[in-house]
Amino acid sequence: MVKDLNYYAGLEYEIKLRKLTKEEGGGWFAEIPLLPGCMADGETVEEAIESLNDAKINWIETALELGRMIPEPNNEDFSGQLRVRMPKSLHRTLSQMAKEENVSLNQLIIYHLSRGIGQKL
């Protein structure tokens, strides 16, 4: 398979959108985090995404011309399962905490991991 402009342009890259403040000029800011510096803005979400698609094409064309590596999105599915090895003392402490709170060890660990990355359950 030839990895040319059409190949990369057809990939589904994650887009991040942010509403711009009045101090920033208003409108919307859009970027593709996997392609450093690939960003655009617009008065509406639709305009920002349309501008970002143009920026994406320009970003890819430039990278191809310069012979630079172009990151590809990772579209693997996640099962939601993870095996973690930990010290026995930590396992014991977590198990005791779960028992005290009358929840499963799994629930306790998910709760604390979520809190650690700033997400609310």
Q: Map out the domains of the chain as residue ranges.
A: 5-66, 79-121
Domain 5-66 class? alpha beta
* CA of residue 103 relative to chain centroid, distance: 30
Distance CA 86, CA 100 (A): 20
pLDDT of residue 25: 92
- Per-residue model confidence as pLDDT tens digits over 26-82: 999 999 999 999 999 999 999 999 999 999 999 999 999 999 999 999 877 777 888
pLDDT of residue 39: 97
- Per-residue model confidence as pLDDT tens digits over 5-27: 999 999 999 999 999 999 999 99
pLDDT of residue 119: 59
User: Which tokens hold the place of 8?
Assistant: 């990369």
**Cβ partners under 8 Å of residue 97, min gap 6:** 108
pTM greater than 0.75 (yes/no): no
C-alpha torsion sign, points 91, 93, 94, 99: positive
